[in-house]
Amino acid sequence: MNLLLVGLNHTTAPVSVRERLAFSENGMAVALQRLLSGGRVSEAVIVSTCNRVEVVVVPCVPTAEAVEAVTAFLCDFHDLPSGQVRPHLYVHQSSAAVRHVMRVTASLDSMIVGEAQILGQVKRAYAIATAANTLGRHLRRLFERAFAVAKRVRTETGIGAHAISLGSVSVELARKVFDHLTNKALLLIGAGEMAELAAKCFFEAGVDTLFVANRTLAHAQHLADSFHGGGRALGLDELPLRLHEADIVVASTGAMTYHINTTMVRAALDRRRYRPLLLFDLSVPRTIAPDIAVIDGAFVFDLDDLQRVIAANQRERRREAERAEAIVEAEMVAFLTDADRLDIGPTVAALKECLTEICEAEFERHRKRLGALTPEQEAAIREFLLMGIVNKTLHPLILGLREAAKQDSELVDLRRAFALDAAPHTPEQVAARSEQAGARTYR
């Protein structure tokens, strides 16, 4: 399959280069149309995320010329000198390009292996290319297969099952303490970005009650109001009185003293009738006293605890990634095998050879009835009459093959109908196929 991928990612280019080559969604269609207008590629998709910019094309010209065309397009479109872009580019051709697209879509080439966001980003790039009418059957089949491979990787491996962000790891640990998080109350101490990310993770997991305690009450209220159903803002001085209402506490402040101490936790557990209290301290310095961990019913995790869980989950993901790589490799081989079978070029050549053999066989079989022929007459019969019959017969078949190529299974059926994958070589086999062709013709 003649495919080409030119691009760069977080491993080959710094963010200062990636940000200058990034395509906005609004400008993507224009960029795709400009790329095709040069006449050197017939199909194109651009995948542009914060970690990669990749252009996947079907070349109409020799590979080296197509690589130059895509590279020039990237530089010209973003008005960048070639010298700032070329050192960071990689090029994948044919099977390597297929493998790369499948690995990217399955999140095996991501900065965080197994993250789910990339699949949606590639699907969005595919949708934009479809709307811009820059897709043909080659890239359409490649990307649809890549989406199926990504789904298979998610289903058959645990590559996305192990949390590796602070928020998601906290949710994972909370589920081990409470089984489920429905109807649980979350108390945030601090109203910064880390608190907001943690709250999003817990709300997605089922938490539906929110308290936000902060030194500045207005900031606490702003964060509390940003979640569905709203929350309640608290002053830090209210913590001793309200701690028992929370099931989960997430602290992320820049304070130099403890906001939660053992006295407060013992009192809260007593009022909770010793239902568990889970506390996450994401602050440095810590704002939850570490000796709380010895109190029955209180579970405390600080940043080091969470990092150890993340490291263990990353090791699990790497093991699952090895299984995912095997799936991608098998799917890549299967895709290329199907592509070879569906390429009409070899089929047209095989059909022409088949028809030529039949005409030659029939000419030899009836040669005596034609009487004496001069060498010039015999050459004219072979060169013009027989080849004319072959070409006239082949023409509607080629048109049919082009249509059949759009319906993959029909092309396979045509090859089977004409026995093109078992071409005869002996005169007897040619004669037999000639007889079969006659039977097919007059039946």
The 3-state secondary structure of 127-138 reads HHHHHCCCCCHH
| Residue 174 annotated as lining a ligand binding site | no
Q: What is the mean pLDDT of the chain?
A: 88
Would the annotation count 110 as a binding residue? Answer: yes
Asked if residue 158 lies in contact with residue 164, where contact means CB atoms within 8 angstroms, the answer is: no
At 279 the pLDDT is 97
Report whether 156 belongs to an annotated binding site. no
Cis omega (within 30 of 0) for bond into 240: no
Averaged pLDDT, 63-73: 96
Confidence of residue 70 (pLDDT cuts 50, 70, 90): very high
> Cα dist. 55→43, 67, 200 in Å?
10, 10, 34
**52-61, 170-179, 360-369, 408-417: segment of lowest average pLDDT:** 408-417
Q: Is 356 annotated as a binding residue?
A: no
Query: Which carries the bigger pLDDT value, residue 341 or residue 144?
Result: 144
Active site residues: 50
Strand order in the sheet with 209-214: 232-235, 209-214, 185-189, 248-251, 277-281, 298-302
pLDDT at 179 exceeding the cut of 80: yes
Q: Is 229 annotated as a binding residue?
A: no
> Residue 384, Cβ neighbours under 10 Å: how many?
10
Cβ atoms of 44 and 57 closer than 8 Å: yes
pLDDT for res 441? 37
267 is in an annotated binding site: no
Q: Residue 256 CB: number of other CB atoms within 10 A? A: 8
* Distance between CA atoms of residues 382 and 390, nearest Å: 11
- Strands (E) located in 146-297: 185-189, 209-214, 232-235, 248-251, 277-281
Of 136 and 406, which is predicted with more confidence? 136
Q: pLDDT at residue 353 above 60?
A: yes
Least confident of 182-191, 236-245, 400-409: 400-409
In the predicted model, what is the mean pLDDT of residues 7-13?
94
Q: How many beta carbons lie within 10 A of that of residue 369, not counting itself? A: 6
For residue 359, say whether it is annotated as part of any ligand binding site: no
52 is in an annotated binding site: yes
- Mean pLDDT for the stretch of residues 264-282: 95
For residue 354, the model assigns a pLDDT of: 86
Is 332 annotated to bind a ligand? Reply is no
Whether the per-residue pLDDT at 414 is higher than 80: the answer is no
User: Is residue 49 part of an annotated ligand binding site?
Assistant: yes
Nearest to 181 by CA among 268, 243, 247, 230: 247
> Which is more confidently placed, 368 or 280?
280
Q: Answer yes or no: is 192 a known binding residue.
A: yes
